Amino acid sequence: MMAVINISRELLAARAAYILRGNDLGELTTAAPQLYPHLWSWDAAFVAIGLATVSVPRAIAELRTLLRAQWLNGMLPHIVFGPDVDYFPGADVWDSACAAAAPRDVRTSGICQPPVHAIAVRHVLAAGRRNGGSDRELAERFAEGTFDRWLAWHRWLAEARDPSRRGLLEIYHSWESGMDNSPRWDSAYAKVVPKVDLAVRSRRDLQHVADASQRPTDAEYRRYLWLVHQMREARYDDDTVRETVDFRVTDVFMSAVLALAADELAEIGDEFGRTDEAAELRTLAARFRAGVLSTVSDETGLARDEDVRARAWVETETIAGFAPLLCGADPSVVRRQVGLLSGPQWCDHPALRYAVPPSTSPTSPAFQPRTYWRGPQWPVMNWLFCWALERQGVAPALTARIREDSLRQLADLSFGEYYEPLTGEALGSSHQSWTAAVALDWTLGPAASRRP
């Protein structure tokens, strides 16, 4: 078992800031310097949250880089490709230029990721106001001036990805969830059979792990590439993709994030006189909050995804099951979920090195402690759940415990992509930008003043 490392909050913050500076390409922060050399959509939002604690202008620049890649239909793509660096699958595989809505001057992927961006805008705005002066002026001008772009993003999700208006977003690739190889997707992927031979070229991820079993297999990658092929054949047209792609699943986690982000964007709208749009966003948030609540299992207490093609619930016990804790829900559901998350199936499991939620319950047959989203703990997820619970004034003892154990986990200063939950070992890439970003917010942001 690894020894506990104790370091000062100041040292952790200084090292986190150093990591972000090292990954900074000017107006784009790479997700990780070696493994992920471009900008990822939801990474950029968390990076902006961290950057806002040290430089409001630089945080704004990060979000503007993402907005420059926004599609005409409102979608924010999950990858914005930066300088030419060997990466697979790269811009040539996506060929997003075949889509009528894609930008012509920026190379992007053709899918999206969870819409956490309004949360970042609120953090940037709050940081600017705390600092005052030019930072306040810049942050307020940015929030007001980009409001319609974030609104278009939310509208696209609500219209294109919830065609039945159930309050549940559909995804057509597991990469859209951000939880690429989670066991949430196993049953849906079992029915994805590539019809053409798609070569899996040199994978950077396998160069950054000692054991290839930590990452998705080549067989999984062929399924991933087949879905990209199908979407590219459909020219990324929303209606065509929905009817033709082999993977079609409602994502309860992503739906909860949209409800949460819509409420955040509504508050921004109110502040800048966009009351009609704020009311629209609150209606949208209510729709998706209700959708999330409709998926909660009476038996397990967890929210569930649905395999739309198979018309079947996904019962696997993953961190996504706590989606109601992100967006708020019926108080009885929240109380039960807080009890579950803090109990022996999750954070209080006796084998865990740190009392933070693993991506899959250690009591689940699907739990694999060293394999990406199938068991490891992710600091960015710890931050998101802590922030959402604090925002609602729910479970202060649990959030304080998760925050403190997360900071102890990060005390090795590797800022790992994810962590082995039984040993505390950093896995995946090191110097991960969003890990450094949440460490900065925990140590220098408003939450830092609430630490005991």
> How far, in Å, CA of 357 to CA of 398, rounded?
11
On whether the CB atoms of residues 316 and 358 are closer than 8 A, the answer is no
Strands (E), 49-121: 79-80
Scored b (16 or more CB within 10 A) or e, 399-414 reads: bbbbbbbbbbbbbbbb
- Among 135, 280, 317, 417, the active-site one is 417
Q: For residues 356 and 402, is the Cβ–Cβ distance under 8 A?
A: yes
> Residue 180 catalytic?
yes
Residue 114, amino acid = P
Is 238 designated active site? no
Question: Would you put residue 249 in left (φ > 0), alpha (ψ -120 to 50) or beta?
Answer: beta
Q: From CA 260, how far away is CA 285, in angstroms rounded?
A: 7
CB 349 within 8 A of CB 340: no
Find the catalytic residue in 180, 246, 270, 404.
Answer: 180
Q: How far apart are CA 400 and CA 232, in angstroms?
A: 45
Residue 30 and residue 38 in contact, taking contact as beta carbons nearer than 8 Å: yes
Query: How far from chain centre, in Å, is Cα 195?
Result: 30
Distance CA 267, CA 265 (A): 5
Whether the CB-CB separation of 413 and 22 falls below 8 Å is answered with: no
Q: Mind telling me the catalytic residues? A: 180, 417
